[in-house]
Each structure stands twice: as C-alpha cells, then as structure tokens.
Amino acid sequence: FDEGSFDNCPGDVLLSFSPNVNNTNLDLTCADLGEQVIQLWVTDAAGNQDFCETFVIVQDNQGFCGPTADPLIVGGNIQTEMGGNVTEVMIDVNDGVTNPFMTSQNGNFSFNTLVDGNDYTVAPEKNITPLNGVSTLDLVIIQRHILGMVPITSPYKLIAADANNSGGVSTLDLVDIRRLILHIDLEYQNNTSWRFVEADYVFPFSGNPFATTFPEAVDINGLLASVEHDFVGVKI
C-alpha cells in the first residue's frame, strides 16, 4: 500500500496498520469480503507518526468461502465526447460511508459494497490542471461562435466553452479563459476544470444545452439490482 513514504530525519521509516509499529500484518477472512478500509501508519526514527486511509477489496475468486449472494454493483464508465477515457475522476455515492472511487486508465468505476434498498447519488468530480488542453485557438473558436461566423453545434463543446458557468457562451468566457492562459488566474473562478453529463441524457435543444438543466449526477432510489451509469466528461 505504500507509495513511497519518506522523512527528513535520519533512519528508516516503519510501516504499520496502526500506531503500534509492531502491527505489520493484516488478516482478512471470508467475513471481510468486499471493500475494507485500512490505515497505513508511518513512524520515523524520532517517533513521529502520520497515516493515510486507503482500502482493499477482498474477493473470493476460487469460491473458497462457499456460495454467496451476488453483490449489488453500481458502476460505469467516463469518456469524452470523442470516446477517450477520462482518468482521475473522483466518483462519490454520497452515503457518508462508502469511500469515493477514482477512475484509472480505463475510465471505469465500480462500487460493490453498497447496501440494497438504500438511496445513492452517483456524482463524478474532477477539478485539476484547468489549463490542460486550453490554448488561444479556443479563444478564436469561441469568438467565431459568438459572432455567428462558425457556430459551435456540439452541446458538449458549448458546455466546455462556458468557462464562467453562467449558462451561456459570451465574451465574459473569453475573459476567464484568457486570464487562465496568461496565468493571471490559476483556476476558473466560478467553474471546475471538468464537468460531467449523464451519457444517456438527450439534450432537447442540442444548439443550447443550457435551455434545460442537464444531469451531472444520477440518483438511485432504493437500490435493488446492479446498475450501470456512464458519463460524458467535458473539459472546460
């Protein structure tokens, strides 16, 4: 579980599963199937300690634990409009108990420890590296759209152009993007660097995605079966 803990004091650091430095083994049994939260403690030579939380998913791939009911799984995939997988998206089910899931290279996410019958809200979020992929060419494209020269027709690209999250595309968006490019601002003042739209959603007016409220999260009322909810990632 260690990603490279280090310390500036002389001597090696000790890794353990609790403040007790001798607690270096963790036994997981059939009673621990599913997602189990663990703490990884680091202790330096001077006795200073810190820890972080992560999790391990215990699976019974060989059927050793005997027949069990299939777990309910809530999962999905996050891709861009062009089909590229979106990594480092934090997915939360907003139940106050389940740890968020971060998408990896395949853009997938999966929760397999949710309680049947409970309500959940699947909400993706990503707000890092806002300048990634942003250039002065974007300013030209948006300006041509505003002037009616070359309209932007994709609803996802219109959402991407709404840098100030005002529900429309205007010269004020150009100002926010320009401030980002010039490093006057390090992030968008009224927006995140990514937004997400439920993949199954059909925009009533593709030329104006802001005419109605598009779903950026999915509500599950009374989970009774495994479900899949995909999202389209939009880089602002």
Count the helix, strand and coil residues of the chain and give each as a percent rounded to the nearest 5: 15, 25, 60
pLDDT confidence of 217, banded at 50, 70, 90? very high
Among left, alpha and beta (phi > 0; psi -120 to 50; other), residue 4 is left
Rounded to two decimals, what is the model's pTM?
0.71
Exposure on the CB side of residue 72, measured as CA atoms within 13 A: 13
Distance CA 5, CA 50 (A): 10
144-180 per-position pLDDT tens digit:
999 999 999 999 999 999 999 999 999 999 999 999 9
Q: Which amino acid is residue 119, in one-letter code?
A: D
Pairing, β 90-92 against β 101-102: antiparallel
| Mean pLDDT, range 190-200, rounded to an integer | 97
Of 132, 122, 114, 147, the residue nearest 180 (C-alpha) = 132
